A and B are shown apart, each in its own frame.
Chain A
Amino acid sequence: MTVEITDVGVDLGGRPVLRGVTATAREGRWLAVIGPNGAGKSTLLKAVMGLLPHTGLITVGGRPVRDLAPRDRARVLAYAPQSPLLPPDMTVHEYALLGRTPYIPYWGRESARDTETARAVLDRLDLTGLAARPLERLSGGERQRVVLARALTQQAPVLLLDEPTTALDLGHQQQVLELVDRLRRDDGLTVVSTLHDLTLAAQYADDLLLMSGGTAVAAGGPGEVLTEDLVTRHFGARVSIGAGPAGRPVVHLRRPTG
């Protein structure tokens, strides 16, 4: 399902946080939202999820997000926040099962099919062995996979991931992003994620959206967006950008000389 963001603005506490953002996440592709701290990346993701009131138009599969009932919205969009709240004594299986919430009526309870769906997702993410473990006894990498499992249990065609690699070491970053990419290709998911690491964003995303000061300043393929000029201007960083594998750019920090 394609996500279209047209001239979107968001105010938080009377202060404009997003202005005139336009972008498209095409069906089955990965759009990475990059930009300096405070650029409005997470806010954009929350607006797409329908968690923040916005001006302009956001559509998923052609339908405006703001017109969708919460349960219907949760069946097309799955969201993993930057620092998810993990109830310490909830088990991995119980947590994954929460992803079935949009399919359960208000007074109802999970069906056998819901339980089976959660089990199958845990199996797919190699989490079956941890199913009975309480969330407080997971490592950082396991935690991130469990949050992903909950989002996948939602069986939504669009995955919104806010900084999925925060607080992970290099190996686990790669593991999580490879996993997301595999799921995207296998299931034809549309992925929209914020990523603070520009080189990682360039490696995994099909399209980049560079945000700065609440507006979209550049969009396109990794090679078009990650230019020394744009990165220097918007991140205030000295970088040199080289060619990496498959023609995707690699960003190096350069120390000021002299």
Chain B
Amino acid sequence: MRKGVVFAGAAVVLAACMAAGLMVGAAGLPLKGVLLALADRLPFVSAHSGLTPLETGVLFELRLPRVLLGAMVGGLLAVAGAGYQGVFRNPLADPYLLGAAAGAGLTVTLVIVAVGDGAAVPLAAFCGAAGGVLLAYGLGHTATRGGGTATLVLAGVAVTSFLTAIQTFLQQLKVEELQRVYAWILGDVGGGWEQVAMCAPYAVVAAAILLLHGRLLDVLSVGDDEASALGVRAGRVRLVVLVAASLATAAAVSAGGLIGFVGVVVPHAVRRLAGGSYRVVLPLSLLAGGAFLVTADLIARTVLAPAELPIGVVTAFVGAPFFVTILRATRKVET
């Protein structure tokens, strides 16, 4: 019963954030006009929005893809973070701690420096993110047989440092490309319909797989031995969730660049509100992550208007202090 209320509340918050994202900007759009214009696009519905052609263009070509991409990227990062946390039994596990971000950063820098062509960026980010996580996973797995939780996170940190070092080297080699690399690394969700279309299929597949593993992640939370004693192949479940979470990360990173802290802040806030069961944490993170990033993007593009702040700056500004709070709370539980 209470679960239903929480889900409905999260959906309402997401809808409200998306509506605000559509209305606010250099050209303010009225709520009624926006809703009518959206309704008009539905099949069998005809409504007169009262928006000028210019406003309609802003709504459908700029704001709508931006809000959709923001919601998708935020939801993916948050649900991937929750998935990683379940796999590693570590509330601090996050797409960025596990080598995904650094991997993508490296491959994208490589593409920008070597090819100079923007079209290959999404694919490069995708390969880099997946490669980074696999590298961290492989390293953590071989370092200790079976792969302890701490080892895997430490391996992620090592992989991140190593890949970032190469990336920085490449970037300094070609100073003229510095600004493009930085713009991508700091992230933005203004990629338009093309990015939305590219991201959507991965988003649907990855999110569906993750959401369907909520019960098994709850079983894993009692430890590998006991999960095995309960008849669950712990290693296999982990691998499936790990691949799905990496797919979600890669999709989010290739469409939105490197946006930190969403994957750790959102699932943690969700746990505080609705308890620790992954059956609740995963779907709620998807909704709340979307709302969080749409709001962050709204702040990023209005606070210094007409200039735009990179969205990663906004999420880090909110996320870093939050991260420290979680760290302190975790330490208290452990001691």
One of A13, A46, A70, A81 near B231 (C-beta < 8 A):
A70
* Residues in A neighbouring B230, C-beta threshold 8 A: 74, 98-99, 101-102, 154
For the complex formed, measure the closest distance between the CB of B161 and the CB atoms of chain A, giving whole angstroms.
29
Contact call B229/A77, Cβ cutoff below 8 A: yes
The reply on A109 being an interface residue by CB < 8 A is yes
CA distance A109 to B221 in the complex (A): 17
Q: Hey, what's the 0/1 contact readout for B125-158 against A, CB within 8 Å counting as 1? A: 0000000000000000000010000000000000
How many Å lie between the Cα of A167 and that of B333 in the bound state? 19
Number of contact residues on B: which range applies? 20 to 34
When distances are taken between beta carbons in the complex, the residues of chain B under 8 Å from A81 are 223, 225-226
Query: Which of these binds chain B: A84-92, A120-128, A172-180, A189-197?
Result: A84-92
B143 to chain A, nearest CB (A): 14
Q: Which residue of A lies closest to B240 (CB)?
A: A106
Q: Which residue of B lies closest to A13 (CB)?
A: B145
Contact call B226/A84, Cβ cutoff below 8 A: yes
Q: Give Cα distance in the complex from A72 to B271, angstroms.
A: 33
Q: Does B302 contact A (CB under 8 A)?
A: no
Bound together, the chains give a CA A106 to CA B212 distance in angstroms of 9
In the bound complex, what is the Cα–Cα distance between A208 and B55 (angstroms)?
84
Q: Is the CB of A85 within 8 A of B223?
A: yes
CB-based nearest A residue for B233? A70
Please state if B222 and A98 are interface contacts (CB–CB under 8 Å). Answer: yes
Q: B296 → chain A, closest Cβ, in Å?
A: 27
Give 1 or 0 for each of B216-234: 1 = CB within 8 Å of chain A CB: 1011011101101111110
Q: Residue B277 at the A interface, CB < 8 A?
A: yes
Interface size range of chain A in the complex:
35 or more
In chain A, residues 61-102, which have Cβ atoms closer than 8 Å to a Cβ of chain B?
A: 69-75, 77-79, 81, 84-90, 94-95, 98-99, 101-102
B229 neighbours in A (Cβ, 8 Å): 49, 51, 74, 77-79
A98 touches B276 (CB 8 A): no
A90 touches B215 (CB 8 A): no
Nearest B residue to A69, CB-CB: B231
CB nearest to A68 among chain B residues = B231
Is residue A104 contacting chain B, with contact meaning CB distance below 8 A? yes
CA distance A106 to B221 in the complex (A): 16
* In the bound complex, CA of A90 to CA of B215 (Å): 13
- B275 on interface, CB distance cutoff 8 Å: yes
Complex Cα distance, B278 from A94, in Å, reads: 12
Find chain A residues with CB under 8 A from B232 CB.
70, 101
Contact B221 A87 (CB under 8 A): yes
A85 to B221, CA, bound (A): 8
Measured CA separation A94–B223 after assembly (Å): 15
- B233 pairs with A79, CB closer than 8 A: no
A49 to B226 alpha-carbon distance, docked (Å): 10
A102, B231: Cα distance in complex, Å: 5
The residue on B at minimum CB distance from A89 is: B276
Cβ–Cβ < 8 Å partners of B228 in chain A: 49-51, 70
Query: Chain A residue with minimal CB distance to B228?
Result: A51
Interface string of A99-117 (1 = CB under 8 A from B): 1011010110100000000
- 9 new A-B contacts at CB < 8 Å, known A81-B225, A85-B226: A49-B228, A70-B233, A71-B231, A78-B229, A98-B222, A101-B231, A101-B232, A107-B212, A154-B230
8 A-B pairs within 8 Å (CB atoms) are namely: A51-B225, A75-B231, A77-B229, A84-B223, A85-B222, A85-B226, A90-B221, A94-B218
